[in-house]
Amino acid sequence: TMASSPVWFGQLLGNDSPTLNEAITVLIKYIDNILAHPDQAKYRSIRLENTAFKNRVLPARGSLECLKAMGFEQDPEYIVLPRNADLQRLTAMRKSLAERVYTAPPNAPTAAAAYVPYVQPPVSPQLTHQFLQRVRTHAEHVLMYEDSLLQAKARSCIPVDRLTTAAAEAVRRVTASAPAEEAGGVSEQ
């Protein structure tokens, strides 16, 4: 977590969940690209008219200030991270941003991609830790059922035809025993 809780961090966390998640996702992607390719200028430069930047980062209050806190400098067309920028600062800021978004564990089945990220509300660290531990535990348990082989095995054990026939029979009995007035004034004959 950020040691001094700068103003921009509070502004960023004050955004609604979808806006916050979009911005943090892109900010983390920027950081990851820079850390993976520290010597490539293209990853250190963001065109202000870039669609992802305009639509996903700028709408979040505090996002531009976050980039500046990372060391980015703005000119009329770009926001650029200088070559001599502190990469350890980027790593620390990535960690702080990532703590605010819940994503499925990296070894989770592919269905984890359908998860909507969970944004951690600003509460005490102890409560947050306990809550996230429980969510992660339950999420991992739920993901177990996203295995296509397990689903096929379960389907092979379920007597679908018998259940469908029994359900249709139950509906027929209920419909037949319902008074004509309750069925909309139409009786079956």
With 0.85 as the threshold, say if the pTM is over it.
Answer: no
**Which pLDDT score is estimated for 179?**
65
Q: What is the pLDDT of residues 37-85, one digit of tens each?
A: 988 999 999 999 999 899 999 999 999 999 999 999 999 899 999 999 9
pLDDT for res 180: 54
Question: By the 8 A CB rule, do 92 and 9 touch?
Answer: no
Task: Please list the ranges in the chain whose pLDDT falls under 50.
Answer: 1-3, 102-105, 108-116, 118, 120, 181, 183, 187-189
Phi-psi sector, 5: left (phi>0), alpha (psi -120 to 50), beta: left
Contacts of 164 (CB under 8 A, 6+ apart): none
Measuring CA to CA, which residue among 98, 134, 105 is closest to residue 119? 98
Structure-token pair, residue 170: 């139950």
Distance set, CA 4 to CA 9, 10, 67, 132 (Å):
10, 11, 16, 23
Q: What is the pLDDT of residue 142?
A: 74
CA–CA gap between residue 175 and residue 169 (Å, rounded): 10
